[in-house]
Chains A and B, each alone.
Chain A
Amino acid sequence: MLKTARWLLLPLLAVFLLLVWGQPRSWEMVLWALGRRRRFRVVENSMLPTFRDGDEVLVAVGEKRPFSPGDIVIAQHPLKAMKMIKRVDRVLADGRLFLLGDNPAESSDSRAFGPVAPQLIIGRVTGKF
């Protein structure tokens, strides 16, 4: 039984590697498969043109590296029970992050609710799923 499983597993692994290899996001997919990335689904339009409503993103959770301007992050909304996706515009001297949507006309962000404490940041977006 164990032997057949292994014979099945090896070709399956080979097919998987063939499909995965050569794709620019393959390493991200491997990290996701290993549980190092979390998937989130973007709803609404404040991250246009980078992400559209319905796009899924991969997120590195619990990284040690500090956030820097330009990073796209998933954050807990400071005033509502809602997770949001925004881009880091700048990092203030006290470590709080000023977050903006890529589509400022259709975004509620730090312009409305102020800078966000780093403890509210859930993770950094590493790419599209």
Chain B
Amino acid sequence: MTSITSLIKQWFPAEEVHAHCDGPCGVYDPASARIAAEAVLSMTKKIMALEGKTDLQSQNTLSRYIAIKEEQAHIAKTELLVLWTDYFKPVHLEAHPDLHNTFWQAAKLCSSVKVEVSLEHAQELMAAIENIHNIFWATKNREVTYYTAS
């Protein structure tokens, strides 16, 4: 039976119906925001370690750290906004009523860590992303342990 139906399927494919999702779907993971935020935290620490050094090499290194921090803070914000606006749906708000505020505060932290050299805010951003990680995987009914690369 199964082979007959599979032959029919192969030779006379039926009309398509879409179990569809707008956009190139499905691949979302707060990990991409977490990696960028970790880079920001790391750069913040490295910038602070260079405080008071005036030699040319140190200044060159400092410029590079600042450039990377700017870039990664922006990436973290973009990744969070994509999750917020594209992945999360109104139904998720029922289970997580604080979702909008969570993302708003996390996005604001991305701005702070970009402008400032603040260890405190960089760590707060990491905590916010851990929180989002937990909410995200809860909506998928999957247990994914949070971890950091560094």
Chain A interface residues (CB < 8 Å from chain B): 19-20, 23, 38-48, 51, 53, 56-57, 74, 77, 82-86, 101, 103-108, 111-112, 129
Q: Which of B8, B15, B21 makes the CB contact (< 8 A) with A40? A: B15
Q: Measured between C-beta atoms, what is the minimum distance from A55 to chain B in Å?
A: 9
> Do the beta carbons of B14 and A84 come within 8 Å of each other?
no
Residues of B within 8 A of A19 (CB): 1, 4
> Do the beta carbons of B9 and A44 come within 8 Å of each other?
no
> Do the beta carbons of A41 and B21 come within 8 Å of each other?
no
Given A41-B13, A56-B9, A56-B14, also A82-B20 (CB < 8 A)? yes
A76–B5 CA distance with the chains assembled, in angstroms: 26
Beta-carbon nearest neighbor of B20 in chain A: A44
Known: A40-B15, A53-B19. 8 other contacts (CB 8 A): A40-B14, A41-B13, A86-B19, A103-B19, A104-B89, A111-B89, A112-B22, A129-B5
A19–B5 CA distance with the chains assembled, in angstroms: 12
Q: Measured between C-beta atoms, what is the minimum distance from A114 to chain B in Å?
A: 12
> Do the beta carbons of A46 and B19 come within 8 Å of each other?
yes
A82–B9 CA distance with the chains assembled, in angstroms: 21
A38–B17 CA distance with the chains assembled, in angstroms: 12
Contact with A along B18-39 (1 / 0, CB 8 A): 1111100110000000000000
A49–B22 CA distance with the chains assembled, in angstroms: 19
Residues of A within 8 A of B15 (CB): 38-41, 83
